Copies of this chain bind each other. A is one copy, B any other.
Amino acid sequence: MADRAPTLHDVASAAGASKTSVSRYFGDERERLSAALQERIATAAEQLGFSPNRMARGLKGGHSRLIGMLVADIRNPFSVAVMHGVEQACRQHGYSLMLCNTDNAPSQEREHLALLASYRVEGLVINPTGSHQPALDAQTIPTVLLDRRLDHARADVVGLDNRLAIEMALDHLAAQGYREVFYLSEPAAQVSSREQRLASFRHGLAPRGLRGEVHCQAPDCADESLQAALSAFIQRPAAAPKAVLCANGNMTLAATRAFHALAIRPGATGLMGIDELDWCGLVEPGITTLAQPTAAIGHSAVACLLKRLADPARAIDDIQHSPTLMARGSTAAGTPPQPPPAASSGR
């Protein structure tokens, strides 16, 4: 019969009702209709296979019921896990998620931002690419920043408690008897979470009697430079065991590959990373990680966004989640854990 999708009007005439009534039925005023009318509309709609046109609805009411999400790297399991949480939370609150992947490219970030704006998304969850984006700063749509802070943008931030994470990592490494730590990160400039972790690392060394060394490099870089740096670190003579600490999942993967290429089994030389990955228990002897509560992060990002939608003027939130230590063989030094150099030994 109808070649195109049936409209409100079609349903109305089929049910012998007015557009308004049908609109009410599908909106949130269904109770205002008499039982008889509800029945008629339900039947007619069912029969025609009607589903309200969200475009039209969004146009008239100004509510798109859409939330946009910008992910820097969709192939990063951490991002996917958070995204999963975000999507669930959105759905729970009656929003749909429009997802865009920027592949860490500022140009795509800009483009997608414009796109999402043109769909009049009501809110934005953004995991920004590193580089500074004026377009992001000028954001007029309520925004929650994921994992990465942006200096110039007035937006809520949800992510990991980076200082706590690094301290937990250093505590664990120190307790396991490691005394020198090689910190492996992607280039930290411009990316707040990396900067925070790096700074916390630097500050956290001395109080624990640790020595540290920092190595930053892009993960897509050739493996050789990482291998070389790692190998130099490991071969350098030292009195106590050494460990490698990876600032995120990408680097954990890179470091594990480097260990593998150098034919070094983690443990005697420690290996630890932030972000839990499927395979961390599988690579011998198991790789110690700090797992991020990805679902919680996703949910709280949406919760935060909705709060801002409800009250645009409220103070900016900065929600920091705590990681969970997954201790495995890669940080069992082999030498029995020694008490820290100076401190009390009783406890």
Contact = CB atoms under 8 A, between A and B. Distances in A.
B99 A53 contact: no
Contacts of A83: 74
Given A74-B84, A80-B75, A101-B84, A118 B52 contact: yes
A167 B253 CA distance: 32
Nearest to A257: B282
Chain A, interface size category, equals 35 or more
Main secondary structure of the interface of A (DSSP, over half): mixed
A74 B64 contact: no
How many chain copies?
2
A164 interface: no
B97 A5 contact: no
A54 B120 CA distance: 8
Interface in A7-60: 51-56, 58-59
Contact of A98 (B98, B114, B118, B257): B98
Interface in A294-331: none
Contacts of A54: 118-120
A153 interface: no
A80 B81 CA distance: 11
A114 B75 CA distance: 28
9 contacts: A5-B120, A54-B118, A75-B80, A87-B100, A96-B98, A256-B282, A277-B278, A283-B284, A284-B284
